[in-house]
Structure 1
């Protein structure tokens, strides 16, 4: 009997390791294309955890957020990062680990002296560029905002702000800095008008709900091992 059980374990164990995991994320200050390869500080942390967990064939792809989110909602064995853990999403994903905390702010062009925002209610009349299916869109929609302009990513939201097609855009400080550099804009031309305190959230890596639990647990253990060893760079 013991011999038979040992044989079963040998036959079953490789199956979980053989399942291919697709990893999806969006373009941001923490994940971006560099010489044809997805790079960035968050990407390197996720890649290190995948390597430690033995996910040798995992492929990391960069998509517009809505497409990455849809893949993680609808397909098995999809790992998504950096995704905010919110009550609406709690049962939709299998959460692996928190990678960082994120704080968002509303920005306007410094030249728009006509825009005076000192509270969330004061922002309501203004048009705001948000990413489709992003936590910022979901938060503002939940708060009853009606003038939300949907875009596929931070780049498009930022371009709409620069072109004067929207009044405000919610960004993390790091993303605002990255976008200013990318478009060769002096960041002094932006003004931070309001911090969205309620939207300070943990950003995670999470598996699609249809992913087998052994795969999820294997990555959890790998990440925790690296964290315990002090082998992970801090993201901020």
Structure 2
């Protein structure tokens, strides 16, 4: 009898416990359902956020062969601008990216529309304003026209006469656009800047517009007698700052990261 009583008591307690739990679940069912729905919604939003992350492994960084500002040496991106740009990219935590050296005219066009594409050293001119997302300035420069003593002996170079002289530029560069918009009548544009040194030495052009800070350093690479080149006139141009920019189709999150990482004002090079 004692064991039967204990079993009955245990059964009654178990039944009471189950009934209590059922009552609790029924009473709080709506609250538990809401909590479960909130949890599932949060998980769904998190999954969407992860899927919305840009594919960082496909970022192309287009650069120019513009020694000593930026250039490729044995597959490595180097130069004064290069160090600043690489620092910004690392701080932005973009994952994998690759530097590509292609002809500047093609780089300027490709960087307008190619997804997740950056371009280094682009001048921010009014005609380009709507074509790119402007990330950060990287360097400010001054520009001058250069010629040779031979040309200067045969021609008087003034602010007026220079507009009718043969000017060597790089296709679609900021200086090329400026020269064309300023009334110059004889413009000889080439894909690569070093070609203009050859043309000037061979009397195929009369002047070259170039950065005054690094003209001689660039000339050394051409193996010409660089002391034969002479600074003649400053280039009257308002846009002197080169930027890190991105295509309009580059993911907005990448632009945000880059702008947050680039909080340093670009130096004015000597």
Q: Given the two structures, how large is their TM-score scaled by the length of structure 1?
A: 0.89
Q: Is the 8 A contact 1:104 1:199 kept in 2?
A: no
Matches within 5 A, 1:139-218: 139-218=178-257
Deviations 1:110-168 (A, max 9, x none): 2221132221x221121111111111111111112221011002111222112211111
Q: Is the 8 A contact 1:104 1:200 kept in 2?
A: no
Measure, in 2, the Cα distance between the counterparts of 1:196 and 1:14: 49
Q: Is the 8 A contact 2:141 2:268 kept in 1?
A: no
**Alignment of 1:8 onto 2:45:** yes
Using the TM superposition, name which of 110-119 and 5-14 deviates more. 5-14
Measure, in 2, the Cα distance between the counterparts of 1:135 and 1:204: 11
Q: Given the two structures, how large is their TM-score scaled by the length of structure 2?
A: 0.78
Using the TM superposition, name which of 102-111 and 83-92 deviates more. 102-111
Give unmatched runs, 5+ long, in structure 1.
none
Matches within 5 A, 1:88-127: 88-112=127-151, 113-119=153-159, 121-127=160-166
Structure 1 outlier segments of 4+, above 4 Å = none
Give unmatched runs, 5+ long, in structure 2.
1-37
Structure 1 partner of 2:100 = 61
DSSP 3-state at the match of 2:154: coil
Measure, in 2, the Cα distance between the counterparts of 1:155 and 1:53: 34
Measure, in 2, the Cα distance between the counterparts of 1:48 and 1:195: 32
Q: Is the 8 A contact 2:197 2:219 kept in 1?
A: no
Q: Over the residues paired in the alignment, what is the CA RMSD in angstroms?
A: 2.0
Taking a change above 3 Å as real, the CA distance of residues 109 and 75 of structure 1, as seen in their structure-2 partners, is same
Greater length-normalized contact order (CA 8 Å, ≥ 6 residues apart):
1
DSSP 3-state at the match of 2:245: strand
| Larger Rg computed on CA atoms | 2
Deviations 1:73-107 (A, max 9, x none): 23121101101011111111100011111221111
Q: Is the 8 A contact 2:194 2:219 kept in 1?
A: no
Measure, in 1, the Cα distance between the counterparts of 2:262 and 2:40: 33
Return the structure number with greater helix share: 2
Measure, in 2, the Cα distance between the counterparts of 1:199 and 1:103: 10
